[in-house]
Amino acid sequence: MNNNALHTVEAQIRDQAAVYCESNHVPGFVAGVYHAGEQIVVAHGTANVATGAPMLEDTGFLFGSVTKVMTTTLVLRQVDRGLLDLDTPVVKYLPDFALNSPGVADKILVRHLISHTNGIDADLYFPDAKGRDALKTYVTGLASNCGTLFEPGEQLSYSNGGMIVAGRLLEVVTGLPFPDLLAHEIYGPAGMENSSTSAEQAILRSTAVGHFLDPETMTAKPTNMFTLPDTWGPAGGTPIGTVADLLAFGRTHLAGGLSPSGTRVLSAESTALMRQVSYDMASPNTPPIGLGWVLYPFGDTTVLAMSGASPGGVSILCVVPDHDLVFTAFGNTPGAIMLQDQILQWLLREHLGVQIPTLITELEQDVDLTPYVGTYRSNQLRIEVSIVEGQLEERTTYEPADESQERIFTEFAGGTTSAPPQRYVPIRPGLFAPAGYPLEMFDGYLRLLLVSYHDIRDDQARFRNGGGRLTRRA
């Protein structure tokens, strides 16, 4: 590929970032693209408005849930070594693993943990513990605090809990703490030279912090909490690194498990297995899932993707095997996800010539809304669904289990514990779009804003799916 093509990409991202950040109050943004042997990194704006530190090409940031692909890679490394088997029950390796309904944990296989099909109802469970025993503390707490949303393998629901249990499983079978494992078996071999596993390490170098918009002044204010607790490490709470590091990790997956320096990080078979469909909800708002990766269909092109929320920030990693391309980015307000989506679609359409079909072409008028009305629950979350003026209206409320959980969740969410009511219009039975949004907005990553309802029995939906996460009819 000639250098000019990537110069065009660099200029495009620079322009797009400047315009979006200015009009949407995003202090800073950093992005990188690797394509066919060349790579570029673009930085814009400010890493921390409190200090005025600039966002630089090598500024670190929280990976957030992009870490889940690393945790999955670690699991598959142990499978390659014969230390783990994907189709063995987790309790065989982790006898302490239990949930608050007797016997349900026994049915969860290792595979279910990393394919988001485990059903563990712990998505907002934030036990506050630090250090060597943090993951052990997390798993111990599940037995009294968390149940299941569905039978293992029955449904798909994005699972922080599954990844954290996988992290503890890794500690038990390798004898190493999860942060050490991540540093020695992912960062080192993949060539992620500026990545760390804690705030204490990250403070030794330049690091961005997240921000939330003040609704009254519309100015970005730094978060009061840099990272989630250590208990959330394997789900993305604590790992920090740079765009160049995520490009190196993405390139490792592009090259069948071989890092840019030629070090074997994962077998070609396991790298391929991560890309195979593990579960497909057959619903436009929830792409099929592999192991670790979400498999976004853009026409005939599959993008392996994972985005990661951190307190006041959002990262993304996309690998496009058909076109030898990796895209990664971080923005330091939650709204930066829309800029990441815009850049991804520009890269696919303009740079790679991928035809992206329209996902939602029209709305259906005469859809019976009654099967979806009711109360849906998951761990510490309640969603009330009613019919208002011919549309579905959802009211979402966080119901903290204790003061510690409330403190952590509130800081993570930027100070709010309930969302304003949101109206939805029917696309077809069981599938809804937030009212007032242009339909083309859902062609890319933001298809996750659509809401679907599943498993209709006796004219009532059993599950609501928003953002890939299930809540169950109460």
Bridge partners (DSSP) listed for residue 307: 316
Query: What positions carry a catalytic annotation?
Result: 65
Q: Which phi and psi (to 5°) does residue 81 adopt?
A: -85, -10
d(CA 344, CA 194): 25
R_g of the chain computed on alpha carbons: 21
Going by the DSSP 8-state scheme, the letter that residue 264 receives in this structure is B
Structure-token pair, residue 236: 């993305």
> What span, in angstroms and rounded, lies between the C-alpha atoms of 455 and 457?
6
Q: Which amino acid is at 328?
A: T
Q: Which two tokens stand for residue 141?
A: 């707490």
Q: Which amino acid is at 313?
A: G
Cβ atoms 427, 363 nearer than 8 A? yes
Residue that the structure tokens 């009009």 belong to: 23
**Torsions phi, psi for 320 (to 5 deg):** -115, 90
Contacts (Cβ under 8 Å, ≥6 apart) of 309: 64, 65, 334
Tell me the sheet residues that pair with 99. Answer: none
Structure tokens given for 137: 């503390």
CA distances for 81 relative to 68, 78, 262, angstroms: 20, 5, 19
CA distance 436 to 448: 16
CB-count burial class (<10 Å; 0-12, 13-18, 19+) for 115: buried
Question: How are beta strands 374-378 and 381-388 bridged, if at all?
Answer: antiparallel
Helix and strand element counts for the chain (H, E): 13, 19
What's the Cα-to-Cα distance from 280 to each of 238, 276, 289, 296, 461, rounded to whole Å?
30, 11, 6, 11, 18
Cβ neighbours of residue 103 under 8 Å, at least 6 residues apart? none
